[in-house]
Amino acid sequence: MRGDCGRDASVAAGASRRGGIVPLRAGPKIEVGLLGATGAVGQHFVRLLAEHPWFRLTWLAASDRSAGRRYGELPWRLPAPLSDEIGTLPVHALDAGNAPELVFSALDACVAGECEAEFAARGHWVVSNARNHRMDPCVPLLIPEVNPEHLALIERQQEENGWRGALVTNPNCSTVFLALALAALRPFFPRRVAVTTLQALSGAGYPGVASHDATANVIPFIEGEEEKLERETQKILGSLDGSEIAPHGVVISAQTTRVPVLDGHTEAVSVELAEAASREDILAAFAGFSGEPQELGLPSAPTQPIVTHERSDRPQARLDVESRGGMALHVGRLRPCPVLGWKFILLGHNMVRGAAGAAVLNAELLVARALMNCPREVDIAANARS
């Protein structure tokens, strides 16, 4: 492993409670690496990290097919240009030990499980988008506004596995959006939920769904997605009991579909609340929802995590999903439901808030809490909480 969270590195920015970035002093940033750098989610990581105020992407790794080449020699599929600095970086094999202490993972699930565990065992802090370890009882399944206290699982994780590093995961993209909405409704005690998703093509990766299947069509099944929505949400909303998570009792029935939209997952949600609430109560809960990332002003945190829409034709993927950097959840069409009580529409950016952006925000919280104990990280944490 190279360095100690960039031991000889420093970060040029910290966070203020107003949500802006307060400069500390000039200097290099914390070096970070990326596993699975060439895939669709990996490229979104690259884009988000290219000008990040705390992190500098200095190490890339991918499959043997890409290893040994310069990153700029490989196909780049995002409209934002690839930075010259990152384009010159070599792509390494997926070998632990030589990467920076903090690494992001955009690995495919077929290789992520063993690879991420190896990196954590070798002392790396792995912030993963992959599904493999999400339901491990000692791995935090993290949405920083919802369950930051679940980071306490890391101590148990390191003790049980004998790891010098650690592993933190973000949820499935659709789960992020549903869990954020239900977290805002916790004052009214969500009891039962029915959700149907309309998931964008980009969620299937590249090249993704065959054109004959995707064009002018709705595919009524996405393997594994319904189970993720139903189980991951219960873990995220669950309570920390010592070193264990007691899952939330909310019962969720999910149906997932693939639709011909490029970016942006839409969800039609009906919810039963144990506590009576008016439309005004629910709208106020959505609009007023925030958490530790907003309190600390973390760089990727939206000032308002949940944006409400009053127009009956919003939110729409084409009009709303890119706003606020793709990190906010959009809620609209709140109205009574004759079956469960209330229903509404959700929209979130599956590649940003539902994937790469979620992991970057998770890493920012790790740094702000000084969990890796590197010198400059402690500096940032002190500044964030001052």
The pLDDT score that the predictor gives to residue 2 is 67
For the four alpha carbons of 324, 327, 333 and 335, in that order, the dihedral sign comes to negative
DSSP string over 4-30: SSSTT---SEEE-TTSSEEE--S---E
The pLDDT score that the predictor gives to residue 336 is 98
Residue 3 pLDDT level (bands cut at 50, 70, 90) = low
Q: Find the mean pLDDT for residues 193-218.
A: 97
The pLDDT score that the predictor gives to residue 5 is 63
Residue for token digits 């990996």?
42
135 burial (CB, 10 Å; 0-12 / 13-18 / 19+) is middle
**Cβ–Cβ contacts within 10 Å for residue 160, how many?**
12
Q: Find the mean pLDDT for residues 17-43.
A: 72
**Cβ–Cβ contacts within 10 Å for residue 233, how many?**
30
Q: Give the residue from 129, 130, 197 showing the smallest Cα distance to 362.
A: 129
| Average pLDDT across the chain, whole number | 92
The pLDDT score that the predictor gives to residue 379 is 72
The residue among 169 and 3 whose pLDDT is bigger is 169
The pLDDT score that the predictor gives to residue 375 is 65
The pLDDT score that the predictor gives to residue 291 is 98
The residue among 186 and 24 whose pLDDT is bigger is 186
pLDDT digits (tens, 9 = 90+) for 247-274: 999 999 999 999 999 999 999 999 999 9
Residue 6 has pLDDT above 90, yes or no: no
Please report, to the nearest 10 degrees, the dihedral formed by the alpha carbons of residues 56, 62, 66, 69 taken in order: 30
Residue 26 pLDDT level (bands cut at 50, 70, 90) = very low
Distance CA 362, CA 157 (A): 17
Residues carrying CATH 3.40.50.720, the chain: 13-172+355-384
Q: Give the residue from 285, 267, 270, 250 showing the smallest Cα distance to 336.
A: 270
CB neighbour burial string for 1-11, b if at least 16 within 10 angstroms, e if fewer: bebbbbeebbb
The residue among 290 and 14 whose pLDDT is bigger is 290
Fold of 13-172+355-384: Rossmann fold (3.40.50)
pLDDT digits (tens, 9 = 90+) for 322-349: 999 999 999 999 999 999 999 999 999 9
Which of 21-30, 207-216, 291-300 has the weakest average pLDDT?
A: 21-30
- Asked whether the beta carbons of 245 and 290 are under 8 A apart, the reply is no
Residue 12 pLDDT level (bands cut at 50, 70, 90) = very low
Distance CA 291, CA 327 (A): 14
pLDDT digits (tens, 9 = 90+) for 262-309: 999 999 999 999 999 999 999 999 999 999 999 999 999 999 999 999
Residues near 371 by beta carbon (within 8 Å), at least 6 away in sequence: 125, 151, 154, 166
Residue for token digits 């007691």?
246
User: Domain 173-349 classified CATH 3.40.50.2300?
Assistant: no
**Cβ–Cβ contacts within 10 Å for residue 19, how many?**
18
Residues carrying CATH 3.30.360.10, the chain: 173-349
CA 130, chain centre distance (Å): 10
Q: Hey, what are 261's tokens?
A: 């939209």
Residues near 94 by beta carbon (within 8 Å), at least 6 away in sequence: 35, 61, 62, 63, 67, 107, 111, 115
pLDDT digits (tens, 9 = 90+) for 95-121: 987 899 999 999 999 999 999 999 999
Which of 49-63, 215-229, 231-245, 366-380 has the weakest average pLDDT?
A: 366-380
Residue 23 has pLDDT above 90, yes or no: no
pTM, rounded to two decimals: 0.93
Catalytic residues: 173, 265
